[in-house]
Structure 1
Amino acid sequence: MRELKILVINNYGQFCHLIHRSVRDLDMDTKIVPNTTPIEEILDEEPDGLILSGGPTMERSGMCSEYLESIDKPVLGICLGHQLIAKTFGGEVGPGASGGYAAIKIEIVDEDELLKGLGPTMSVWASHADEVASLPEDFIQLARSDICEYEAMRHVERPIFGVQWHPEVAHTEKGEKLLENFLEICETY
C-alpha cells in the first residue's frame, strides 16, 4: 500500500491524538487539523481521506458539515463524527439510553468494505451519551447493538462511513483492522 495522507479533523475529543497515532502507526502520513480549517486549506493538503474525530458536542463541530458537503474524499466519522455525518445528511441524533464509555457487543449486519473481516460480532469501546437515532436517506445500516440500532452506517454511493465506537482504543477488538480497511478504501478511491 502506498503511503496515504489522512487528515484527522479535531472535534476536541479526548481520543483525537490517539486516532492520529493509530493511523501513523499504520505507516500513513497523517496530520491533525482544527475543525475550523477553511476548505481550501484542507484541499491544499491533498488528503486521500478524512477522519472526523469524536468530541464533546455538536456545537463545537466547526466546519465538519461543510467538509462533508464539499470535499469528495473518503470520510470515516468516529463517535461524534458518526453523528455529524448523520445530521449533515438529514438523519437524527439524540441522547442514548446508556451514557458513558463502556464495552459494547456489536452485531455486524452488513460486512461491507469498511467492516470486512470483523464480523459477525465484536466487542468495542463506545460512548452512547448521544447516538444516531435515525439514518439519513441514502445511508444503510452496517452494525447494531442491544442498546443502539445504528452503531455503524455508510452512504450508498459515496465513501462516507460512520461508527459509534472508537476503533483507535485498545479496548476495541479489531480496531486496527477497521482502520486498515478504511485506508484501503482511501487508496482505491
Structure 2
Amino acid sequence: MRSLIINCYMNPTEINELFSAIKRLSECHIVHYKEINNKDQIKNDFDAVIISGSEARIVHENHRKMFAKTADLIRNLEVPTFAVCFGHQLLCWTFGAEVSSLSKPIKDEFERIKIIEFDEIFDGFESRHILLAEWHNDYVIKRGVNEAGFVLLADSESCEVEAVKHIKKPFYGVQFHPERIKIQNEVHVEGQLIIENFYEKVVRR
C-alpha cells in the first residue's frame, strides 16, 4: 500500500510527526504543496492521500492562492483521502464550505471531542467523547457543510466542525491532530486508532 502525504507546512520539517504515524501503516511518499504538478500520476500511483496541517490560514486570500494547485488536486481525487487540521479546512473550503477564525485560538492541548455519527473512522470507540490534540486558529463553519457535500461526524465545545466525511467520495477531514498523542506529560492514543481505522476500514476495503 502506498500513501502520498501532501506537506502543507511552510517549514517542511513540521511534517515529521504525521509522517511517523502514517509510515507504520503504509509506504509513504511526501510531496511539498509547492511541488504538486501531476494529478494523473497521483491518481494512478497511490492508494491514499494524506493532507497535512500548516501554519498557513485558509481565511487569508493570499494563502488560498498559495494552495490553488492543492485545491485543484483535491477536486480531481478519487482515492481515499484524509485531511488534518489546515488540510481539513482546505478540503471543506475547496468544495464550498466556509472557514472562519476562532475567538480564542487553541494551542497544543487535548480537546474533548464529541462523536456525532459513529462512522468507520470511529470504529472501536465505546464512548462518544474522546480526547484528541488540537492546535489551530481557524475552523470550518457548520452552516453550509451539508451543502458542500459533507456529513458532520464530530464537534466540540470550541469547534463546531471537528470531523467530516464526504457524501460521495472516500474523503475525511479532521480538525484535530490524530498523529499527536503526547503533549507534555499527557498521553491519549485515540488518534492512532482513528488513523488505523482509515487504513483498515476505508483504504483497504
TM-score of the aligned structures, taking structure 2 as reference length? 0.83
1:187 maps to which residue?
A: 204
1:103 paired with 2:110, answer yes
2:189 maps to which residue?
A: 173
1:61 maps to which residue?
A: 67
SS of corresponding position for 1:143 = strand
Is this contact kept in 2: 1:37–1:63, CA < 8 A?
A: yes
Report the AA paired with residue 53 of structure 1.
Answer: S
Structure 1: segments with no counterpart, 5+ residues: none
Superposition deviation, residue 83 in structure 1: 0.1
Distance in structure 2 (CA, Å) of the matches to 1:33 and 1:162 = 19
1:9-50 deviation line (CA, Å, top 9, x unaligned)? 000166422111111123x11111112311234235x11010
1:91-130 deviation line (CA, Å, top 9, x unaligned)? 0111013312221100001110112123411111112301
CA RMSD of aligned residues (A): 1.7
Superposition deviation, residue 61 in structure 1: 2.8
Superposition deviation, residue 75 in structure 1: 0.7
SS of corresponding position for 1:125 = strand
Write out the 4+ residue segments of structure 1 that deviate beyond 3 Å after TM superposition.
none
State which of 115, 139, 155 in structure 1 corresponds to 2:166.
Answer: 155
1:49 maps to which residue?
A: 48
SS of corresponding position for 2:104 = coil
Structure 2: segments with no counterpart, 5+ residues: 183-187
TM-score of the aligned structures, taking structure 1 as reference length? 0.89
Name the count of aligned residue pairs: 183
State which of 27, 30, 40 in structure 2 corresponds to 1:29.
Answer: 27
Distance in structure 2 (CA, Å) of the matches to 1:74 and 1:181 = 12
Report the AA paired with residue 178 of structure 2.
Answer: P
